[in-house]
Amino acid sequence: MPKVRFEPSGVEVDTEAGTSILDAALDADVELDHNCGGNCACSTCHVIIDSGIEGINPITDDEQDMLDEAIGLTPNSRLACQCNLTSDVTVTIPDTSSQFADFDDFD
């Protein structure tokens, strides 16, 4: 049973093989944006694979195209909705909230 550790919260969750990182996060009540509902149609579920990248499926062309829109890309960036687990991984959920304006300030 694969285990996912989410940083910076330190939450760890055991999950069934084949579960996406996004679904593991939702099951563990870990906050991870997913505006398109996990359909590889946006980049809001961007995560950075800190360890265990060999424990997820390879990136697809569709995922790579969407990932190009994400803020703060690294060589180990992936979309959580597209990463199906086969073994333990540690991921960082980037803090992108500071990248966007607080529209309440414009009233």
pLDDT digits (tens, 9 = 90+) for 25-60: 999 999 999 999 889 999 999 999 999 999 999 999
Tokens 């414009």, residue located: 106
Residue range 3-95 in CATH 3.10.20.30: yes
Residue 97: the pLDDT is 44
Q: What is d(CA 107, CA 94) in angstroms, rounded to the nearest whole number? A: 28
Whether 44 contacts 34, CB under 8 Å: yes
Q: What is d(CA 60, CA 9) in angstroms, rounded to the nearest whole number? A: 28
For the chain, the domains span 3-95
Residue 24: the pLDDT is 96
Residue 103: the pLDDT is 40
